[in-house]
Homo-oligomer: A and B are copies of this chain.
Amino acid sequence: MKVIENRPSSLQVFEELESEVRSYCRSFPALFAKANGYQLWDVEGKQYIDFFAGAGALNYGHNNMRMKEKLIQYLINDGITHSLDMATKAKEMFLQRFHEVILKPRGMNYKVMFPGPTGTNSVESALKLARKVTGRETVMSFTNAFHGMTIGSLSVSGNKFKRKGAGIPLQNSVTMPFDRYFGDEIDTVSFIERFLEDNGSGVSLPAAIILETVQGEGGLHAASFHWLKRIRDICDRWKILLIVDDIQVGCGRTGTFFSFEPSGIQPDIICLSKSIGGYGLPMALTLIRPEIDIWEPGEHNGTFRGNNLSFVTATEALRYWETDAFSKEIKDKGEKIRHFLHDLVQNHPELEGEVRGRGLIQGIACGVEGMAENICAAAFERGLIIETSGPENEVVKLLPPLIIDEAGLTKGFEILDESIKKCKTSSTE
């Protein structure tokens, strides 16, 4: 994201006391005070539309009323707040409801692991388990994948800048081309098969293949459902575990609770985090096929596995999934976004734009260097929070809360349109 140099004086405390590693406060230089639904307000009362949604952690919007009520009630009652992985009433309710509302209706049979409340914890636990189950060491991941910033997860992520930050060579992983990486003509699955079939390829038989169905950080590349099925076939053929990292695009982001549902596949391990807690509170799950749930007690652990406030809001959030109305609603909004973006690309050929993504994670990849960053910066000035994606920050990424309404979408679209016009003018001056 573009760093805006002239920050308002209101950020002085951060500049003086916080580490240089801070980033979003540079792209969105305001001091935020309140939020509700798809809107935020800064300390000066300025209102912002949110097309960012906590990088996918706020699918149900900010400070969702029903969840808030449950949360306050739980606090007032002195419900357990922190419990490590002891059994609590709040956790029990979440487990039951998750089973009833999500897994059972989908014919999915998975054990639930609480790996620590961040996405990267879930990915690390998935990698460990896959290696334990198979006795193999390599994990296969994809170009432009992003799975997290701790060493295990970073080893299966593609971004050069982030990988370099490790300060050590990242090992035990192999990168393969994602769907359409070499264009529409070349089938990357047969490519992977060739490497696996050939005993001289230098590619070890992996413990697991890990993938995102839509690459949220990597540039909004969406895998076709056919491609996903073929990856599943490869996994079956060589007894490789399939890990779907649904941290950013699960919890309804693409229209179904799990992003892979339309493909018909069942992963061996599923990573969930971000919006699973419902209210934006830290939480993560690792779902495991029962046959491979061969963990020893405590073989992976962590202090904040039992963040019960999350369990309370997460349980409430599941009510969105009791019928398929919410899913349908997301798909409708996704269609609207797609139309809007297609029109944008056609109306502004100078962007050299390409529409990417699926459901409520879509965007425009711009062929002009720096353009996407400029558009997002212009949008922020106009009250729209929206970030870029991709290895060169080349994609304008629309990630509104799933609960956004017509008015919110329309307002966001208008700001985007204006911002693009502004940027085009600037770049031709």
CB within 8 Å of B: which residues of A? 1, 3, 10-11, 13-14, 17-26, 28-36, 40, 43, 54-58, 62-63, 68, 71-72, 75-89, 91-92, 95-96, 98-99, 111-114, 116-121, 124-125, 127-128, 130-132, 137-138, 141-145, 148-153, 155, 157-163, 165-169, 171-175, 177, 181-182, 186, 191, 194-195, 198-205, 207, 218-219, 273-274, 279-282, 286, 288, 293-304, 307, 309, 390-392
* Bound Cα distance from A22 to B85, whole angstroms: 6
* Bound Cα distance from A86 to B7, whole angstroms: 13
A207 close to B167 (CB less than 8 A): yes
A202 close to B163 (CB less than 8 A): yes
A149 close to B297 (CB less than 8 A): no
Most buried by B among A68, A120, A390: A120
A19 close to B281 (CB less than 8 A): no
Contact for A33 among B34, B79, B121, B137, CB less than 8 A: B79
Contact for A25 among B85, B116, B142, B173, CB less than 8 A: B85
Smallest beta-carbon distance A370→chain B, Å: 15
Smallest beta-carbon distance A170→chain B, Å: 8
B163 close to A95 (CB less than 8 A): no
A111 close to B20 (CB less than 8 A): yes
A293/B20 contact (C-beta < 8 A), A25-B86, A160-B200, A202-B175 known: yes
A162 close to B299 (CB less than 8 A): yes
Closest to A116 in B: B118
A169/B167 contact (C-beta < 8 A), A14-B92, A78-B36, A295-B19 known: no
A-B contacts, 28 listed (Cβ < 8 Å): A17-B99, A19-B113, A20-B294, A21-B296, A22-B114, A31-B88, A31-B89, A32-B86, A32-B87, A32-B88, A32-B89, A33-B80, A54-B84, A75-B75, A117-B118, A119-B302, A120-B150, A120-B302, A121-B150, A131-B168, A137-B167, A161-B296, A168-B172, A169-B172, A171-B171, A174-B175, A199-B391, A200-B218
* Bound Cα distance from A87 to B86, whole angstroms: 34
A82 close to B202 (CB less than 8 A): no
Smallest beta-carbon distance A157→chain B, Å: 7
A88/B33 contact (C-beta < 8 A), A118-B116, A295-B21 known: yes
A201/B158 contact (C-beta < 8 A), A77-B34, A186-B186, A281-B82 known: yes
* Bound Cα distance from A338 to B127, whole angstroms: 43
Smallest beta-carbon distance A96→chain B, Å: 6
* Bound Cα distance from A290 to B372, whole angstroms: 33
B158 close to A202 (CB less than 8 A): yes
A297 close to B128 (CB less than 8 A): no
- Top 8 nearest A-B pairs (CB, nearest first) are A131-B167, A82-B280, A200-B391, A175-B202, A151-B152, A23-B298, A158-B202, A21-B295
Smallest beta-carbon distance A270→chain B, Å: 12
A282/B35 contact (C-beta < 8 A), A111-B18, A152-B150, A171-B168 known: no
Smallest beta-carbon distance A132→chain B, Å: 5
* Bound Cα distance from A71 to B279, whole angstroms: 14
